[in-house]
Each structure stands twice: as C-alpha cells, then as structure tokens.
Chain A
Amino acid sequence: MKTEAISISLDLINRHYQEPNRNRYESKYFWEELYTLIAASGFSGIEIPYEPVWQFGGRSGVPMNRYCVNTKYESAAKYRAVLQASGIERVTGITFDPNLFMRNDNLGFFFGATGHFAGEALAHAADMGADYFAISPSPYYGRILQYHPDLEAQKQDFTQRTIELLNGLAAKAADLGVTLVLRHEYWSLFGGERILPLLDALPDTVKLDLDTANLFVAGISAADFLATHIGRIGCVHLTDTDFVDTGDVWKTPNPEFPSHRATQVFRDPGCGSVDLVGIAALLDRLKYQGPITCSARQTRDPFRALLRSRALLNQFQK
C-alpha cells in the first residue's frame, strides 16, 4: 500500500470535551503549528470535520467551517495556501454530522438546519478541492429518541426525509465533482448494515464510507463488510477500538461515552483490537484506489496519536 496518500483527520483534536489545556484549540496559532507537525509526522493530506458551531460565539480560530476560514484567511484559496506552505498539500475530505441540530422536538428545524449547513459544508468541500464529503445521515439514535420518543413509529417518515435531503446533496455533489459518501456510525439510525437500504435508495454516485472501528463496535467484521461492498466504497476510515457494544449503548443519548461503564471507545490507530494491517492488505488485494483516512478520534494525546498513526502505517506492506 502507498501510505503516502493516506490522510489524517483533524478530528484528532478534542474540540468539544474538557481536558487540561483544551482552550488553546480555539486559537489560530494552535492550528497553524499543528499543520507543520502533521507534515512532520509524514502526512501531506488532511480531512476536516465541518462544524457550524464555531461561527456562533465568535470562535473563528477553529478552522472547521466556511465562516471561520473566511474570517481568518479571507478565502478558501488563501487558507489552502497556508496549508501548502505548512506542508499540507491537500484536503482530501470533509465530514459532517447533524448532531448539533437535534436539540428540540421540531423535525422541521432539524431537517432545515441540517440541509442548509450540509449544503454549505459540501460547497466548502469543493472550495477545498476535497475528493469526498462524508456525511453522517442521522444524529445519535439516542439523541433523536430523547426529543422524539416515538422515533420507531416515525422511522419511515424520518428515513424518507433523510433520503430527500441526501438526494439534494447527491445532485449538488455530482455538479461540484465531489463524491458524497455515507457514514455508518454504530450510533446512527442508519448504523452498520442499516446503512445499506438508505444507500440503495440513492443514486449510484453516492458511495459508502467504510469505518473500521464503527463496524467493530457494532459487532461486524470490517474485512467481510469490505469484501462484500468493495464496489460501493468511496472512502475508508482507518479507526481503532477495543469496544464491542453488547449493551445497546448505541441507543443512548451520548453513545461515544457509554454511561454504564466509562471507556475510551475510539483508540489511537494501532492501539486497539481492529486488525488494521490486515485491512490494509485486503484493500490492496481488492485493488482499492480511493481515499483512505486515519482517524484518532477521542485520542488523549494528539501528538502521540500522530506518531502512533505513522507507526501503524509503517507496518503496512509496501
């Protein structure tokens, strides 16, 4: 495998949860140094989680949306020039999840806000020259349930509205030359194999994002899933975990933090139980040529995670 093409996701920075010295993550200087450190650890491509929240409250130092980029750099082109000068040659992908908008019992608000900001995020992906736009098609199942206790009864309607939203994005993505890929997080209404009927209802241009840890948590073999669906995979996330959800944690409001027994669900790549070396070999055997991204989501130490990721990639057969 040519590991030099593998990107790292900026989700290795803990933007949302408390930890000592977290506040530095809100200042521009932190990110601008980070780009050089990412390059120093051998990555020349990054993935950016698109997060509208940073434009509310004046925290535009976090470069996670169009408003922030324009505020600090005037334009996407100038931001990309800063990345280039730091050793980051390309933004390979943009991710988006709608959890921010599941905050009340108004589905009109949820789909309206999600549609608006997902559209903006997709346009931003094009501005960044990204290959893919990876969207989580639903918020946390348990978060929906909190505001819509009758979710199971409403599932068909919710699914239909999701399909309409994604159809709109698919057309826009095709126009912009960006591949729309669907994520299958274990906590989603469309998690694991539940993503497949949703994908079937969308144009062939829409692909799957294979995320190894999310499959593992759901008790699904990433290798089997990959072999079965290789023709529909538009993006691969190399993620690691030790956690298997045997207690319906996926249905809780805060599913990445199992409330009954605290655990770090996502481990730094190479530090969990997912056979990522085996997955890399399988990708080669299946002649997969699409984008691959390492993600150290929930890492306790982003700089160690960068090097752990590199140490893992160094184990891949060249």
Chain B
Amino acid sequence: MTNIGPNIRYANMSHWKSIPYKQIDNFREFYYEDKTNTAYYSDWDNILKYQSALGFDGIEIAPWDMADILPLFGSPENFTAFAKERGVEVIGMFHGAHASHAADHFDEAVRSGREAVDTIVRFGGTYMNTCPTQNYYGTGPLSREEVQQCAKVMNEIGRYATDHGVKIGLHNEFFCAINLPNHRELIESTDPRFVHYCIDTAQISIMGEDLLKFYDDYHERISTFHLKDTASSNQPDSVRYAQDPEITDDGTRWFWEPGQGNLDLKGLYRLLKQHEFKGWMSIEYDGSPDLLASMAMTRYYLDNELRPIYD
C-alpha cells in the first residue's frame, strides 16, 4: 500500500486509447481466444485497478475520451462512481480552447469552455487544464491584440469555472500559437483570481522556458502539473512552428517518464518544497509504447527519488 503524501497527490493523465469494455467478466475465456495480452488492456475495470495499485489515485481525462466513456458508462457520474469503487477519483479534464485568439470566435470559445467546465463538474473534477489556442502552424505569429483576445477568453471561462469550483490552468504545448515570445505575456494578461497555470514540465522546456526559473517566477499561479521528462529542451522555431510536430515521422519521442530525460526534476521538487506546493499532480506518458510499464517506472522514481525531497 503506497502512502500518499499530504502535500502532493498523484494522478494519471489518461492517454489510453479507446478502452472498449467497462468490465470483462469472462477474462480467461477472452484471453484464450487469441492468447495475446490484448485482454489486459481492454477494460476500465483493470485499467483503473492498475492505476490504483501503482498509487495513482486520480485520473485526468480528456475530451477525446468522451465518445467512448459515455456510451460505456451512460453518464459522467457513473464513470466517477465506477472509478471511485476502484480507488480512483476524476480530478479534471484537459480542454483545448480552439481559436480563442480570434475576436469573431469569442462566443464559441467561451461556450465551449463553459461546456467543458460543466462536464468536469459532472465527473466531480476540479481542474481544467487548458491549451490556450491552436497550433502555431497556420495561425502564428499572433498579434498583441490576438494575445489579449486569448486572455479575454481565458478570463471569461476562468470566471465561470471558479464559480463552479473548477480551477482552469493554462497549459502550453511547445507547438502552440501561444509560444515562447508571448507565453508570459498571456499569463500576465489574465486575471490571477480566475486563471491559473498547469506546468507541463516537458512541453514548456521544449518550448524554451527554463523549468525551475519559470516555476519560481510563477509559483503563485500554479494550480497543478503535468509531470514528464524530456531530452529535447529548447527546440528551435523551425521545429516548434512546423506542421503537426507532436508526432514525429521517425518515431523520435519528445516525452519520457520522469527520470528518463534530462530535466532537473529534483531541483523542481526542492522548489516545490520551498514554495509549499499543495495539490494534485498528473503524470503524463504521451508517446510511451507501454503505459502500464511507464506508470510502474514512474512510481519507482517518485518513491525513491522525488518524494524523499518533498512529499
């Protein structure tokens, strides 16, 4: 039984592709049909148990999961109850604020953000980690006015979220139209009462922010983290502004399990201790070929390297 520290609780950012079954009661029979390990990755019952067993007692879901989860469970509340029975709670959901920089898209961006907040409330979550707008390619560079427009949308969604007990956290990808030249400008243009920040440790490092300095500068704004490692910090414009750079043509991975890249995560934990961070932290494994192995690898690293620094 893993002891969960009093300051940080750990969640898994769900990167499972479609999980086709809620629960498999005929597990042995299903396994014997083709004698592969497919059966082990086919139902939420086992996926949630894997998480629980490895001490990730929160799950952050994604909007693209909805099309599968809702038919399987019937409602967000049913999924939440099912997860809770297995020791896992839904902490929130990712959201992409498409075209929030475009003045003529204001109403739609706000409507979509509010709907996402409503969905999170139904799941019992309290975090909405929000990509501020779409990819740089085909959109950037953004004008000052467009950045301000983006901030206006974030404030509006943030106000609604706060009223409903949800914290929105800006979440920047390395390939987003909000990028190194205007990353901090956006944060500083938003209202700290309503808009927080979710540090995706690898994404902002690839984008060119210094992870420790960024956290130190903005620690009061930080609602949560997507914790992952990278060995690809400070990528040039030609990479960050390219078309569809997230999935590489040759299989090169941007993201690694904590400890498998070269970010100073121990330094980050010393700062977490200094600033007394409290809350949920999602571990993210996008790009991993084996999400279960990544979870186990991460649990070992957390327990043996990071939690001794700050728990």
Chain A residues proximal to chain B, CB less than 8 Å:
16-24, 26-30, 57-61, 71-72, 100, 103, 142-143, 146, 253-254, 256-257, 259, 261-264, 267, 300-301
6 contacts between A and B (CB under 8 A): A17-B18, A18-B41, A59-B247, A60-B243, A72-B249, A262-B24
Contact, CB under 8 Å: B30 / A30: no
Q: Would you give the shortest CB distance from B239 to chain A, in whole angstroms?
A: 13
Contact, CB under 8 Å: A21 / B34: no
Stretch at the interface among B183-191, B205-213, B283-291: B283-291
Given contacts A28-B249, A60-B247, A61-B249, 17 further A-B contacts (CB under 8 A): A17-B17, A20-B289, A22-B17, A23-B289, A24-B251, A27-B251, A58-B175, A58-B245, A59-B244, A59-B246, A253-B72, A254-B68, A254-B72, A261-B25, A262-B26, A263-B30, A300-B38
Interface centre among B67, B70, B288 (most CB of A within 10 A): B67
User: Which residues in B have their C-beta under 8 angstroms from that of A59?
Assistant: 244, 246-247
Contact, CB under 8 Å: A16 / B33: no
The residue on B at minimum CB distance from A254 is: B71
User: Which residues in A have their C-beta under 8 angstroms from that of B72?
Assistant: 253-254, 259
Q: Would you give the shortest CB distance from B131 to chain A, in whole angstroms?
A: 11
Q: Would you give the shortest CB distance from B132 to chain A, in whole angstroms?
A: 16
User: Which residues in B have their C-beta under 8 angstroms from that of A30?
Assistant: 251
Contact, CB under 8 Å: B246 / A58: yes
Interface string of B15-53 (1 = CB under 8 A from A): 011111110111101100110111101110000000000
The residue on A at minimum CB distance from B38 is: A300
Contact, CB under 8 Å: A18 / B244: no
Q: Would you give the shortest CB distance from A288 to chain B, in whole angstroms?
A: 31
Q: Would you give the shortest CB distance from B21 to chain A, in whole angstroms?
A: 6
Interface centre among B245, B247, B250 (most CB of A within 10 A): B247
Interface string of B64-84 (1 = CB under 8 A from A): 100110111000000000000
The residue on A at minimum CB distance from B292 is: A20
Choose one: A27, A100, A257; the contact of B21 (CB below 8 Å).
A257
Choose one: A16, A57, A58; the contact of B17 (CB below 8 Å).
A16
User: Which residues in B have their C-beta under 8 angstroms from that of A19?
Assistant: 37-38, 41
A-B residue pairs, 6 tightest by C-beta: A253-B71, A257-B20, A58-B244, A300-B36, A28-B249, A262-B30
Distance A16 CA – B19 CA, assembled complex (angstroms): 9
Q: Is B274 an interface residue (CB 8 A)?
A: no
User: Which residues in A have their C-beta under 8 angstroms from that of B25?
Assistant: 261-262
Contact, CB under 8 Å: A262 / B42: yes
- What is the number of residues of chain B that contact chain A, defined by CB distance less than 8 Å? 45
Contact, CB under 8 Å: B26 / A103: no
Q: Known A23-B289, A24-B289; judge A300-B34 contact (CB<8 A).
A: yes
User: Which residues in B have their C-beta under 8 angstroms from that of A262?
Assistant: 21, 24-27, 29-30, 39, 42-43
Distance A16 CA – B72 CA, assembled complex (angstroms): 16
User: Which residues in A have their C-beta under 8 angstroms from that of B290?
Assistant: 20-21
User: Which residues in A have their C-beta under 8 angstroms from that of B251?
Assistant: 24, 27, 29-30
Contact, CB under 8 Å: A16 / B18: yes
The residue on A at minimum CB distance from B245 is: A58
Contact, CB under 8 Å: A143 / B71: yes
User: Which residues in A have their C-beta under 8 angstroms from that of B155?
Assistant: none
User: Which residues in A have their C-beta under 8 angstroms from that of B248?
Assistant: 27
Choose one: B19, B33, B135, B288; the contact of A264 (CB below 8 Å).
B33
The residue on B at minimum CB distance from A26 is: B247
Distance A61 CA – B249 CA, assembled complex (angstroms): 7
Distance A16 CA – B68 CA, assembled complex (angstroms): 11
User: Which residues in A have their C-beta under 8 angstroms from that of B247?
Assistant: 26-27, 58-61
Distance A168 CA – B39 CA, assembled complex (angstroms): 42
Q: Would you give the shortest CB distance from B79 to chain A, in whole angstroms?
A: 14
User: Which residues in B have their C-beta under 8 angstroms from that of A20?
Assistant: 37, 41, 289-290, 292
User: Which residues in A have their C-beta under 8 angstroms from that of B175?
Assistant: 58
Interface string of B262-297 (1 = CB under 8 A from A): 000000000000000000000000011111100000
Contact, CB under 8 Å: A18 / B16: yes
User: Which residues in A have their C-beta under 8 angstroms from that of B249?
Assistant: 27-29, 61, 72
The residue on B at minimum CB distance from A57 is: B64
Distance A120 CA – B111 CA, assembled complex (angstroms): 29
Q: Would you give the shortest CB distance from B251 to chain A, in whole angstroms?
A: 5
Q: Known A18-B41, A259-B22; judge A71-B243 contact (CB<8 A).
A: yes
The residue on A at minimum CB distance from B36 is: A300
User: Which residues in B have their C-beta under 8 angstroms from that of A267?
Assistant: 34
Q: Would you give the shortest CB distance from B291 to chain A, in whole angstroms?
A: 8
Distance A270 CA – B215 CA, assembled complex (angstroms): 58
User: Which residues in B have their C-beta under 8 angstroms from that of A21?
Assistant: 289-290
Choose one: A17, A26, A103; the contact of B67 (CB below 8 Å).
A103
User: Which residues in A have their C-beta under 8 angstroms from that of B287?
Assistant: 23
Q: Known A26-B247, A27-B249, A29-B249; judge A18-B19 contact (CB<8 A).
A: yes
User: Which residues in A have their C-beta under 8 angstroms from that of B246?
Assistant: 58-59
Distance A24 CA – B251 CA, assembled complex (angstroms): 7
User: Which residues in B have their C-beta under 8 angstroms from that of A253?
Assistant: 71-72
The residue on A at minimum CB distance from B285 is: A23
